[in-house]
Structure 1
């Protein structure tokens, strides 16, 4: 694919090729009372609450933290995902919601490094494309100063990349990692940062994919979300110009030691990394995710393990919502009370919930219903609105498919699964 990156690409001034931009809309076509009526369309997510579809996003971290490997893992999961809610993997602290073609362009890792990392992640899916630029002609700038005006411009390489991406069917994710080697512009200049972000946003809008670029921190320490946002290299226009910014940082040593003790692992420098959305336009998952680095260098989400060790009520609400959503997908939905109530079936839930009282369950379900994170739905053949589901789940949308059998566990404390009954 992308053979344009095997050769030197001259910069072509966009201003020399096209007329000055004109307004592309008619105000009369955007009358509020006519355009914005009824329920708004739900936002589509690549990773729920983290990376929106058809939008540009930024992932930032210090050097060597592990952002590139984590993004490669995301690309692989998008390409391998079967689309089932029950099997949705969690990445960057959210559930994967899209399946399809994923393209990962790396300006730093060569083919050997990419191959080693992909082998670590498992079977390589057919919908994954990885372009290691060191073995594909080297990194060519996608954005550079216009030779005539010295203002920011897209190069011929960007135009060819954009053309190829628009021809890819079922494209869901494009990763450019990292941004700096692919950009010959000074990103400390607001005009340059805004130009780059506008091009990334336009690519996302025209392809419908989530476009994610990685970027480095400036040489400053960050140990929480606020410091991480301030540490992102370049002008604030880079952060402000994308829909979502996710940062990774190293927590302070004392916090790392406590986390290692909780997880019962040996402390090593750099073994614990935290991450989260540090900027979002609109609704987003603002929880901090804690990662543990494995032997291969991949960051593994340990948030659930930490919540189980010392859960807060917010943690329990999140886990209860997830369990209710998965039960609906699996064809064994819960009700608030009664024979199918969450209390009566609490032993199907994670072990943390086994000793929770009936009134506490009723309260928690009421809280989730009140927030709109859960809904009560009516299924075919039922005369009552009682089955619990998330708003975009199958039961809530009239696609309930009840399965015979009972809920069992493959191992003590393991994941709940449906044990089907053969009715012959």
Structure 2
């Protein structure tokens, strides 16, 4: 069909396409895919950038192809039709251009009727422009990587058992990343529950602003630091455009949001056609709506999506989510799929009911029980955070401690009331400020003393930093954390030996752990503290010069 001649010149690579049909040095129209005989007989195809990368995979036993000109190929001039009915995985080069091209090509492949389309994420520890040819040359474990790596699903072919063998779970498990330290995890569904007029809408807008615009700031929301930055999307069905604008003006008076407007999307549904249902009740049970499917496709196309908020949940479900467990299970499964495929935190804002007898809530357990809906709704999410009015006694103590005025409907408490992983379960005290935003007073009430959870996070960070510099600690002994505590943050300089070493043990016992014991290169003794993904954890660590006389005894 066509030939591509490659020349390595002093000025760089030069490619000259040859159109066999017209016998001219030019790209055919349309431009054919590479390795069409292989594509024809294959069920699964890898799309890579460039003939060299494709041929390396073909010679290793994979069916691979590439568009003519690789990442520079115009997708509208390429004939993608041979991929119809195929399961296609896109393996981009490890650079921004490769990822951008992958999304463009994935849409074109989806449009011609591919059975499934996924984009594989290159390993984070590989150099820029690393590709499949490099992988083959270095003996990289391609099968394991393709089975276990993060991916963005553009189109799913449904459940395939062959995709989920034990190979997916080989090696060190990936670390759980968090959107907010100690509470909202990335890539899962969470509930934010509160009674009416609590200020949860302002809190989610504040969170979205910090994720989209506050990359250079260290800001706390919901009692923890915002750890991720990227694109945030908020769907609100109760506030119109004017109200959203007024709230944003209060939260962001310097218009920081306008410096990167493509990072923040706030959709006031009263001005955008009204709320769209995610789930609708049918004679066959709850079903996904076409409106939600369309929204999901747009969310999947956002490369750095970190947050999606639906406020409130009841506006997006045309079924009885409060009483029917089947609806709750179906809905949480649907949202979990969205969170997993995008890697974003999905937060659904929900209402709480007052406890029986109109008694005030005085514990996290009561707050969890007060979240509206069947038990399937709360059980189906990975994390739930609740906000409730503070009891009069708490208000009086807070005002007395901080010399505040006990204004009505201004003081609230909040906590993680359900979590499937490590979480800071501190019950925090909030006060509504002059613009309606809940401010966390917990640290001020405690006299700025960090909690044990906070200290564990700081200790884990200090241990990881020391290992990354080639100056690792051991748990105890001459190289132990207590002996070398002066190299840790100041909070640990005067801590008793037993307490510091017990905190290290607590980190080692966590599941998943934030700290593990690893080995030096060439050694079998596991004693050097490191992160689960560090060099010492992988048996490749080295002690660097200036390591404060560390001894490998």
TM-score (norm 1): 0.72
Report what 1:210 is aligned to.
345
| 1:198 maps onto 2:328 in alignment | no
Q: Which moved more, 1:387-396 or 1:108-117?
A: 387-396
1:136-195 Cα offsets, whole Å, 9 max, x none, are 12223222222xx25212222111111111111211110001111121111110111111
1:294-323 Cα offsets, whole Å, 9 max, x none, are 1111011222212226x4873784586499
Which of these residues, 309, 316, 320, is aligned with residue 186 of structure 1? Answer: 320
| 1:155 maps onto 2:303 in alignment | no
Report what 1:55 is aligned to.
188
Query: Is the contact between residue 229 and residue 278 of structure 1 (CA under 8 Å) also seen in structure 2?
Result: yes
Query: Is the contact between residue 334 and residue 342 of structure 1 (CA under 8 Å) also seen in structure 2?
Result: no
1:15-414 aligned at under 5 Å gives the runs 24-26=159-161, 36-82=169-215, 87-122=217-252, 123-124=256-257, 125-126=260-261, 127-146=263-282, 149=283, 151-187=285-321, 188-220=323-355, 221-308=360-447, 311=449, 314=452, 317=455, 321=459, 336=481, 341=486, 346=490, 357=494, 360-372=495-507
Find the residue that maps to 1:131 and give its secondary structure.
strand
Report what 2:105 is aligned to.
none
1:45-65 Cα offsets, whole Å, 9 max, x none, are 212332222211111010011
Q: Which moved more, 1:170-179 or 1:114-123?
A: 114-123
Distance in structure 2 (CA, Å) of the matches to 1:240 and 1:201: 12
Bigger radius of gyration among the two = 2
Distance 1:166 1:315, change over 3 A: closer
Find the residue that maps to 1:116 and give its secondary structure.
helix
How many correspondences in the alignment?
356
Query: Is the contact between residue 141 and residue 184 of structure 1 (CA under 8 Å) also seen in structure 2?
Result: yes
Find the residue that maps to 1:57 and give its secondary structure.
strand
Find the residue that maps to 1:194 and give its secondary structure.
helix
Distance 1:62 1:389, change over 3 A: farther
1:210-232 Cα offsets, whole Å, 9 max, x none, are 11100001243423211111111
Distance 1:200 1:371, change over 3 A: same
Distance 1:278 1:303, change over 3 A: same
Query: Is the contact between residue 278 and residue 291 of structure 2 (CA under 8 Å) also seen in structure 1?
Result: yes
Q: Flag the structure with more relative contact order, 1 or 2, with Cα contacts below 8 A and sequence separation at least 6.
A: 1
Find the residue that maps to 1:175 and give its secondary structure.
strand
Query: Is the contact between residue 224 and residue 249 of structure 1 (CA under 8 Å) also seen in structure 2?
Result: no
Distance 1:376 1:203, change over 3 A: closer
Find the residue that maps to 1:168 and give its secondary structure.
coil
Distance in structure 2 (CA, Å) of the matches to 1:118 and 1:293: 16
Distance 1:55 1:260, change over 3 A: same
Report what 1:415 is aligned to.
none
Distance 1:38 1:217, change over 3 A: same
* TM-fit CA distance, 1:337: 6.0
* TM-fit CA distance, 1:374: 6.4
Distance 1:393 1:38, change over 3 A: closer
Distance 1:388 1:40, change over 3 A: closer
Distance 1:105 1:312, change over 3 A: closer
Structure 2, gaps ≥5 residues long: 1-155, 474-480, 508-513, 520-525, 542-553
Structure 1, gaps ≥5 residues long: 1-20, 379-384, 400-424
Query: Is the contact between residue 172 and residue 533 of structure 2 (CA under 8 Å) also seen in structure 1?
Result: no
Query: Is the contact between residue 79 and residue 100 of structure 1 (CA under 8 Å) also seen in structure 2?
Result: yes
RMSD: 3.8
Find the residue that maps to 2:447 and give its secondary structure.
helix
